[in-house]
Amino acid sequence: MVAGVILAGGYGKRLRPLTDSIPKPLIEIKENYTILDKQILSLKYAGVREVHLLVGYLWEKINERYGEEWNGMKIRYWVEDEPQGTLYALKNIFSKLEEDSIVSNGDIVADFNLRSLIASAQENKDALIMIAVTRMLSPYGIVDFKDGRILSFREKPLLDYYINAGFYYIKKEAYPYFQEKYEDRAVEKTVFPRLAELGRAYVYKEENIFWQSVDSLKDLERVREEFKNREDRPWGYEKMLPEGKLWYLMKSFDVKLENAKLKIESGRGIAEFENKEIELKVGEEIYIENGRIKALENMLIKIFHQSK
C-alpha cells in the first residue's frame, strides 16, 4: 500500500490574474482538465488509491471540485492557514501515515511512469527516498563556436544537467528524518541533503518525456500547446497528428489493437498476435489485425491506421 501526497498549497503569485480566484493546481491545461486532475489520475493509473492534498490558499475551491472521492480516488485534505514551507507540510502528514508515500509538487505537469518509479524505489533496499530527475532545458539559446568561429545556434536545448523533477518516493523509514530540527523550511535544503549524505537518496530518471513546472504564464502556454489534441490514458497518452495518431505507451503497460498499422518512433516493446510474439524496435513498421503490444520501455508509437 502506497499513499499519494500532493503539495498543493501555494499562492501562485506569478500566475496572476489566473490565481486571483483559483489556486494554481486548478488551472486548466486544456478544457475541463486541470493540473491537479492530471496528477491525481497519474497516481490512480500507478495503482495508488488514496491521495492526501496538502492545501492552503483557496483550498475550498479544490474541495468543491474533488470532494472526498473523485474518479475512484479517495481524497483527504490537510489545510494550512498560512504556507510554512514544504518541510512543515510533509512533517505534518508523515506523522500520520503508516505506509510509504509517493509525493509530488502540485505545479508539475509531466509524463513520468509513476508505476515504474514506485517499483524502482521498492526494489532498491538502500534507498530511503528516490527522487525523479529530468534534464534541464536551457532558458536561452546556445551558441556553439570554435577558435572564434560560430559553428551553430541551438534554440533552448536540453542540457547535460539534471534537476529535481518534483516527484518523490519516500519510504516510511525516512519519516523520522522529517521530524528533526532544521534551519530552513524546504525539504530540498534539509531532509534531502541529509539523506544524500547518508547514502540513502537515489534518483529515478526517464529520457524524452514531457516535463514542465508551471511557474509563469509562459510555462502554462507551453503546457497547453503540448495538450492540444491530446488525451491522457491509463497507459500513457494519445495525440492526434495530421499524419495519424501518436501514442505514448509507458513501460510495463499493454494495449489491445485491431487492424492497426504502426511504426515505433522510440523505445522498445513486444507485439503479440496470431499466437506469436515479435519484438518491436525503433523504425520498425508492423500491421496487427488482432493482438496486443506491450512496452518493455517507454515507447512512442505512430499509428497510421486503426479500426476497432
Identify the weakest region by mean pLDDT among 137-146, 169-178, 283-292. 137-146
The CATH class given to the 2-228 domain equals: alpha beta
- DSSP 8-state code for residue 85: -
> Which residues of the chain form CATH 3.90.550.10?
2-228
pLDDT of residue 9: 80
Buried b (16+ CB within 10 A) or exposed e, 97-109: eeebbbbbbbbbb
Residue 297 phi, psi dihedral angles, 5° rounding: -150, 170
- Which residue in the block uniquely carries the three cell numbers 516493446? 269
Sign of CA dihedral 21, 25, 26, 32: positive
Mean pLDDT of 132-136: 86
The kind and range of the H/E element at 218 are helix 217-226
In angstroms, rounded to a whole number, what is the distance separating the alpha carbons of residues 271 and 296? 11
List pLDDT tens digits, range 39-71. Answer: 999 999 999 999 999 988 888 999 999 999 999
> Which residues of the chain form CATH 2.60.120.10?
236-305
Residue from 74, 96, 156, 256 carrying the catalytic annotation? 156
List pLDDT tens digits, range 166-211. Answer: 999 999 999 999 988 888 888 888 999 999 999 999 999 988 888 9
Whether residue 304 is predicted with pLDDT greater than 80 in this model: the reply is: no
Return the CATH superfamily for domain 236-305: Jelly Rolls (2.60.120.10)
pLDDT of residue 308: 46
Mean pLDDT of 236-263: 85
Mean pLDDT of 105-110: 91
Whether residue 213 is predicted with pLDDT greater than 80 in this model: the reply is: yes
List pLDDT tens digits, range 63-90. Answer: 999 999 999 999 999 888 777 788 888 9
Whether residue 138 is predicted with pLDDT greater than 80 in this model: the reply is: no
Whether residue 307 is predicted with pLDDT greater than 60 in this model: the reply is: no
Three-state DSSP state, 220: helix
The answer to whether 12 touches 19, Cβ cutoff 8 Å, is yes
Q: What percent of the chain has pLDDT over 70?
A: 97
Instruction: Note if 156 is an active site residue.
Output: yes
The answer to whether 288 touches 257, Cβ cutoff 8 Å, is yes
The answer to whether 285 touches 262, Cβ cutoff 8 Å, is yes
